[in-house]
Structure 1
């Protein structure tokens, strides 16, 4: 029986909607493939040309190839070829790295003793003028007292950089900062971070390095500090150590969405033990608000009041050369009473 007019109209609407979805997906795929060629084509001098040729070919196929399904198939094949090539690009361990990320950390574990090599502890005079110093630290897991989180903003309230700090009492504090690993002369690009431009790097550092440089020497950066509650500190620390050792053996790519400074923390955990996904894990400038809602940080004050007093830039500048830097920046902050192992 032929379809009646309402059914035909409904079928036409669904057909147009399906076609629109297919074209939208193809457009997104073409846009991604164009970026992959623009950023990752193996010969830097030919990258723009390769991307332009791909874009021109896509336009010609869309305009001139008929019937439409052949045009769609041709575009899909072009995208697939770029994906297959892109997957062959491998991260490297050895390049002409910037000094700050030149020495990857690694650890040896013997029972409760963790020996960390290449702990960064630069002495900064300015952001770019510093004395290079990499150290070996011996940590007793039985001395692990707690965990703090620093949230670092560099201009936008929507995006931030989390740094975890583990307090080992007499053995000192160790920070983990998940970053890109730029080469000399290379700078970060948000768009480039969506592609295979940067290797992933775990900076393992003393607080007087990784916090001082952000709070005291980089312009326009704000650093907030919170005590973390109800965290299995030892388990979390060993997750970091495991990842640090894996990266020391096998480098990985950084990705601004799927493997960044926040999502990488979540991915360290077993899939069954990960926190539920929340949009603030991507727009991580609101990460401290998420932690507050989940009772992961101190709640003795309303969140707005807690955040206001948790900014440590002034304390960090006052304690710049003080050997008790870590203690001085914590004075008066909620939940920062000394903890026992």
Structure 2
């Protein structure tokens, strides 16, 4: 009797935990809008309750277990049929994925974003083609942008050339016109993944001046060879995404883990660390592995690397990238 109760309790726990996942999956992906999501979630709860009743009230419990396994199997079959797509009504700033052509040290990028932002609803749309000579690449910067919790930040990687031009790569959720970002939705196939190269006056100003986010810039300690290889890696990854759509995932496929996978191919021995997931603490991780300007404490790099006020003051000045770097270690 005790053994039966124990086994039924284990099965019940599995049913309850898997149903939490199932209800979230239905909430974020079930068709029919709000009413459809409520209806499918309600049906799941009725089915789950029936299986649990059958599990405990039946003569042996196996009938209720089998019924739930079949129910969960049908849900998983539906779930695996949800595939990423490039054919959706994307938000204007995410309408394209950057692609590139690599010919040794020369790279041509198509769909480089260079919007003129006045507000989240008022902007000029510009997608450009640009060419870069990697022999003229002089610097790599990491930019972190915070909008709420100190443990969460969006990460940009910016490449600087000897003529003063900077282009920043951003691994983004590919949000549709009616969507807003959701960390939980990122676990449940709510967004596709994209890589976008942007002019810094676009990608930094939209965060500092329009969305009122707080930004820090850190010069990264990379050899010229590794810097060029990282630029090429962004282009390769972007081309792959443009060819084969992929879902964003809050943990396994986000703005940090994608870049980390590139860096592991370039710099040997990079350790896994919780700060790769809690992206707000990523600067501490990069500092600890020797990726920032040597000889400076992290606190000093953070104090001198905050660029929010400088970005707001610079506005649309053509010298925007130079102005935001004043006083930043490695640039002063």
TM-score norm. by structure 1 comes to: 0.87
Q: What's the offset of the Cα at 1:72?
A: 3.6
CA distance in 2, matches of 1:279, 1:96: 35
What is the CA distance between 1:26 and its match in structure 2? 3.9
Q: Secondary structure at the match of 1:145?
A: strand
Match of 1:117 in 2: 110
Matched, 1:140 2:133: yes
1:182-233 Cα shifts (integer Å, max 9, x gaps): 11122122222211111111121011100011112212x1000001113621
1:310 maps to what in 2? 305
How far apart, CA to CA, are the structure 1 residues paired with 2:199 and 2:9? 53
Change (3 A) 1:283 1:138: same
Q: CA deviation at 1:16?
A: 8.5
Aligned in 2, Cα 1:102/1:119: closer, same or farther, shift over 3 Å? Answer: same
Per-residue CA deviation, residues 1-42 of structure 1 (Å, 9 max, x unaligned), is xxxxxxxxxxx9999888766554443322111111111123
Structure 2 vs 1, CA of residues 171 and 23 (structure 1 numbering), >3 Å: closer, same or farther? farther
- How many angstroms does 1:174 deviate by? 1.3
Is the alpha carbon distance of 1:25 and 1:327 closer, same or farther for their aligned partners in structure 2, counting shifts above 3 Å? Answer: farther
Return closer, same or farther for 1:240/1:247 CA change in 2, 3 Å cut-off: same
Aligned length: 325
Superposed, 1:1-341 pairs within 5 Å as 23-44=12-33, 45-65=35-55, 66-170=59-163, 172-219=165-212, 221-230=213-222, 232-268=226-262, 275-336=270-331
Where in structure 1 are there 5+ consecutive unaligned residues? 1-11
1:8 alignment counterpart: none
Residue pair 2:233, 2:262 contacting (<8 A) in 1 also: yes
16-25 or 122-131, which deviates more: 16-25
**1:63 CA displacement:** 2.2
2:163 aligned counterpart, secondary structure: helix
Q: 1:230 to 1:64 in 2, by over 3 A?
A: same
- Please say if residues 30 and 37 of structure 2, whose CA atoms lie closer than 8 Å, have aligned partners that are also in contact: yes
Contact 1:193–1:254 under 8 Å retained in 2:
yes
RMSD: 2.5
* Separation in 1, partners of 2:262, 2:127: 25
Q: Deviations over 1:128-148 (max 9, x none)?
A: 311111111101111121210
Q: Which moved more, 1:146-155 or 1:163-172?
A: 163-172
1:96 CA drift (Å): 1.5
Segment of structure 1 superposing worse, 21-30 or 60-69: 21-30
Given that 1:140 and 1:171 are in contact with CA atoms closer than 8 Å, whether structure 2 keeps it comes out as: no
Q: Does the 8 Å CA contact 2:167/2:197 hold for their aligned counterparts?
A: yes
- CA separation in 1, counterparts of 2:264 and 2:74? 33
Distance 1:170 1:126 in 2: 30
Query: Taking structure 2 as the reference length, what is the TM-score of the superposition?
Result: 0.89
